[in-house]
Amino acid sequence: MDNQITFPLIGDTRIRMFRGGRGEAVVFLHGGAGLSVWTPFFQKVSEGYDLHVPEHPGFGQSDNPQWLNSIADLSLFYLDFIDSLEAETVHLIGNSFGGWIAAELAARDCSRLKSLTLIGPSGLAPTEGATDIFRWSHEENTRNLFHNQAIADRALGTAPTVEQLAAQLKNQTTVVRLGAATRLVNPDLARWLHRITVPTHILWGEHDKLAPASTAEIWKAHIPQARVTIVADAGHLPHAEKADVVGAAVVQFLAGVK
What is the pLDDT averaged over residues 150-157?
Answer: 94
What is the pLDDT averaged over residues 114-124?
Answer: 98
Please report which residue ranges of 20-148 form alpha helices under DSSP H.
Answer: 40-46, 71-84, 97-108, 138-145
Q: What are phi and psi of 17, to 5 degrees?
A: -145, 135
Question: In this structure, are residues 30 and 95 in contact, taking their beta carbons and an 8 Å threshold?
Answer: yes
Structure confidence at residue 37 as a pLDDT band (50, 70, 90): very high
What is the pLDDT averaged over residues 136-146?
Answer: 93
Question: In this structure, are residues 75 and 23 in contact, taking their beta carbons and an 8 Å threshold?
Answer: no
Lowest model confidence (mean pLDDT) among 1-5, 62-66, 107-111, 150-154: 1-5
**What pLDDT, on the 0 to 100 scale, is given for residue 127?**
85
Q: How far apart are CA 196 and CA 194, in angstroms?
A: 5
Q: How far apart are CA 238 and CA 156, in angstroms?
A: 19
Q: What residue type is assigned to position 204 of the chain? A: W
Q: How far apart are CA 18 and CA 230, in angstroms?
A: 27
On average, the pLDDT of the chain sits at 96
Listed in order, strand segments (DSSP E) in the chain are 3-6, 9-10, 13-14, 17-20, 25-29, 50-54, 90-95, 113-119, 200-205, 226-231
User: Residues of the chain with pLDDT > 90: what percent?
Assistant: 96
**What pLDDT, on the 0 to 100 scale, is given for residue 221?**
97
Taking the model in full, what pTM does it have? 0.96
Domain that holds residue 105: 3-256
Please write the tens of the pLDDT for every residue from 211-221: 999 999 999 99
What is the pLDDT averaged over residues 151-159?
Answer: 93
Question: In this structure, are residues 200 and 116 in contact, taking their beta carbons and an 8 Å threshold?
Answer: yes
User: What is the CATH number for 42?
Assistant: 3.40.50.1820
Please write the tens of the pLDDT for every residue from 43-59: 999 999 999 999 999 99
* 3-class state of residue 34 by DSSP: coil
Total structural domains in the chain? 1
Structure confidence at residue 210 as a pLDDT band (50, 70, 90): very high
**What pLDDT, on the 0 to 100 scale, is given for residue 107?**
98
Question: In this structure, are residues 49 and 255 in contact, taking their beta carbons and an 8 Å threshold?
Answer: no
What is the pLDDT averaged over residues 143-172?
Answer: 94
Structure confidence at residue 2 as a pLDDT band (50, 70, 90): confident
**What pLDDT, on the 0 to 100 scale, is given for residue 1?**
52
Which residues pair with residue 27 across a beta bridge?
52, 92
Q: Is the pLDDT of residue 119 over 60?
A: yes
CA atoms within 13 A on the CB side of 221: 10
Question: In this structure, are residues 155 and 142 in contact, taking their beta carbons and an 8 Å threshold?
Answer: yes
